[in-house]
Amino acid sequence: MIEIIPAIDLIDGKCVRLSQGDYAQKTIYNENPLEVAKEFEAAGIRRLHLVDLDGAKAGQIKNLPVLEKIASQTSLIVDFGGGVKTTDNFQSVLDAGAQYVAVGSVAVKQPEVFKHWIETFSADKILLGTDVKEYKLAVAAWTETTGINIFDFLEEKIKQGISTVFSTDISRDGMLTGVAIDLYSEIHRRFPDLKLIASGGVSSVKDIYEAEKAGCSGIIIGKAIYEGKIQLKDLV
């Protein structure tokens, strides 16, 4: 059974969504993310993907108090990412109540720091995020595309002990155009033991089934919930 993981993206402490990672295309859905998290919990959801968009853009964590509130006032299993750049940052996210730290840009641009985190905190505490455009990685809140091939990158990180990855086709994120089935199928074919979480483009319950067929063990859903394309009762 594929695991449903709703996303709460944060700007200025509010629950928002972007389209294709563009900060100029921002929609505020709720000014109280804790309220949203409690709605998810009440619907039987167990996991939450919490993204500090301010932190991702600034290169330092900005919305830690929101994590602390959600972690202390719900029983949700939370992963938190955005602006985690140092070992102290990583520790502060765990201390604030996150079970996992979502890491993207550092794994690409500072591989030695990433390796140190694996050795210090264990690979089990890391949710590796790979943002992909035409099978190449993008970093820095999607503002920078690299020439690094997704499959080569994953092979290297799996050797270091990483077992869970979420992958976003950034051309689809926030666009409600369906999930990147070809990308996920190919990742699953090459790395069948990897726990792969789909992210970006989810527009209907059908996309969830398709992601599961493609080999995904989890799926992150954001805009489709907030825009009413998928009802929480359907996810139960």
At 63, which CATH number?
3.20.20.70
- Catalytic residue, from 52, 54, 131, 169: name it: 131
Confidence at residue 166, expressed as pLDDT on a 0 to 100 scale: 97
On whether the CB atoms of residues 52 and 83 are closer than 8 A, the answer is yes
Length of the chain: 236
* Rounded Cα–Cα distance for residues 152 and 102 (Å): 20
Which of 143, 152, 155 is closest to 57 using CA atoms? Answer: 143
Confidence at residue 141, expressed as pLDDT on a 0 to 100 scale: 52
Residue 198 forms beta bridges with which residues?
Answer: 167, 219
Confidence at residue 204, expressed as pLDDT on a 0 to 100 scale: 94
Which residues are CB-contacts of 1 (< 8 A; sequence separation ≥ 6)?
none
Q: Are strands 136-139 and 126-133 parallel, antiparallel or unpaired?
A: antiparallel
User: Considering its fold, how many domains does the chain have in total?
Assistant: 1
Confidence at residue 142, expressed as pLDDT on a 0 to 100 scale: 55
Residue 88 catalytic?
no
Q: Which amino acid is at 234?
A: D
Per-residue pLDDT of the chain (236 residues; tens, 9 = 90+): 999 999 999 999 999 987 767 777 788 999 999 999 999 999 999 999 999 999 988 989 999 999 999 999 999 999 999 999 999 999 999 999 999 999 998 999 999 999 999 999 999 999 999 999 889 998 765 566 788 999 999 999 999 999 999 998 887 666 677 899 999 999 999 999 999 999 988 999 999 999 999 999 999 999 999 999 999 998 87
Confidence at residue 174, expressed as pLDDT on a 0 to 100 scale: 61
Phi, psi of 140 (to 5 degrees): 55, 60
Residue 169 catalytic?
no
Q: What is the pTM of this model?
A: 0.93
Cβ-based neighbour number of residue 236 at 10 Å? 9
* Rounded Cα–Cα distance for residues 22 and 7 (Å): 17
Confidence at residue 2, expressed as pLDDT on a 0 to 100 scale: 96
Domain ranges, residue 213: 3-235
* Rounded Cα–Cα distance for residues 90 and 109 (Å): 16
